[in-house]
Structure 1
């Protein structure tokens, strides 16, 4: 399942990159780490990423989202159609690679 791992690794790298943003709110950092943890624990990709998108959307609407995370939020939001169809398989992994790499 090397290809599936590649999709997950692209996601992990993106999370790690955004979690190191200067002046990121602790709440935002925890939100990212929880999503990463869920993926590492084998939870459903679609549900995890859609949940992250919903949480980030709520924070953005409340004007609380860390400024450095707006790009990541936009990435999720602009790819929500692809995320809604994600499955933990080779096709899903290729989609994850295209979104997060």
Structure 2
């Protein structure tokens, strides 16, 4: 899930669009949702990465602020996060 490239919050729309297209070419389903702020990657309904790192961002600066991404392996946790924060998730998988 990510914002569409044409959103004003997207710093570099061209680069953002390229990242989305690269993921799709590799078979990754990418859902574009405007006005969404949630940094997580869900893999196979059992692995979830949650944190402050933007997975689609390409960092090109020398100084990188302290960001983090935590990895959890738990279908129950993925289900709970999806239920509370991303109720449309199951529909997007169709």
TM-score (norm 2): 0.30
Q: Going by fraction, where is strand more abundant, 1 or 2?
A: 2
